[in-house]
Structure 1
Amino acid sequence: MKKLIILMLLVCAAGFVRGQILTPVHWSYAAKRLNDKEAVIFIKATMDKGWHVYSQTLQKGGPVKTTITFEPSKKFQLNGKTEEPAPVTKFEKVFNMEISYFADEVIFQQKIKLKTNGPVTVKGNIHYMTCNDEKCLPPDDAAFTVRVN
């Protein structure tokens, strides 16, 4: 009987801990073929109210910047750098520097040159950090796969 009670308590505790994991950033992905030779990959982050992610262009000494990497492929090549809209920029005392970030949502765009006429699968990873006015969560990663038809 004691083992059953202990097991039930452990199961309840595990559910409680799992329910406490914060995931304030929600990622989605899409692609648009521009013509036979080019496409754009869209990477969208939607943040819960009060949370933000950081720009790709932060200087060292601040929070973790957003870094988007793409797996190499023989079917496409990157065309330029991953673009982002104009971020909110303000001086943060805690870092003693200007910090650029996105709140609510942001769409990153990466142009690619297609080396084939058929469908192409683009895979990659996003390394990012999210914060609100009270705390920052540890840096996280989000793997992605998007198909260009």
Structure 2
Amino acid sequence: MKKIIIFFYAICFINLCAYSQILKPVSWSYAAKRTGPSTATIFIKATMDQGWHIYSQFVKAGGPVKTAITFPVHNTYSLIGPTIEPKATTKYESSFKMNVSYFEKSVVFQQKMKLKTMPVYVKGRVEFMACDDKQCLPPEEVDFSILVK
């Protein structure tokens, strides 16, 4: 009898594991382009699965977690201005009871930099939250490193 019960629980556990998946609806890619002898632009691209979106860097307090791109202070480069983004879609979301700006399908963020040495690895971090029409995933952080030649 014990063997039957253990077998039953094992089947249930395997079945449960087979159906549970970790959702990763956003993938990130990075590139750098030299724009002058001592300047470059870093491109940070998010690609979202169908039906998913991430939020703008400019979401008001009380709303969803906004996308934040940070670069640690480093002696080989400095930032020129803020990280820029294209025009976002803005709509009222009842779950947050406010207008929010977001991106679907894909978005490219850009950061201009002044380079003090060559080549240089530019490191940073993206924090973001992905949502679809049914759920929002917990905020996630992704570290990156880009070689600028």
Distance 2:38 2:31 in 1: 17
Unmatched tracts of structure 2, length 5 or more = none
Report the equivalent of 2:22.
21
- On the 8 A contact 1:32/1:41 being kept in 2, the answer is yes
Give the counterpart letter for 2:41 in structure 1.
V
Per-residue CA distance 1:109-130 (angstroms, 9 max, x = gap): 00000112x2110011101000
What is the CA distance between 1:10 and its match in structure 2? 10
Distance 1:111 1:14 in 2: 47
- How many percent of aligned residue pairs carry the same amino acid? 51
Distance 2:147 2:17 in 1: 35
User: Is structure 2 residue 128 aligned with structure 1 residue 128?
Assistant: yes
Distance 2:120 2:16 in 1: 41
> What TM-score, normalized to structure 1?
0.88
Distance 1:33 1:60, change over 3 A: same
Q: What's the C-alpha RMSD, in Å, of the aligned pairs?
A: 2.1
Distance 1:46 1:14 in 2: 29
The count of corresponding residues between Structure 1 and Structure 2 is 144
Report the equivalent of 2:112.
111
Spell out structure 1 runs of 4+ moving beyond 2 A. Answer: 8-17
Which structure's CA Rg is the greater one? Answer: 2
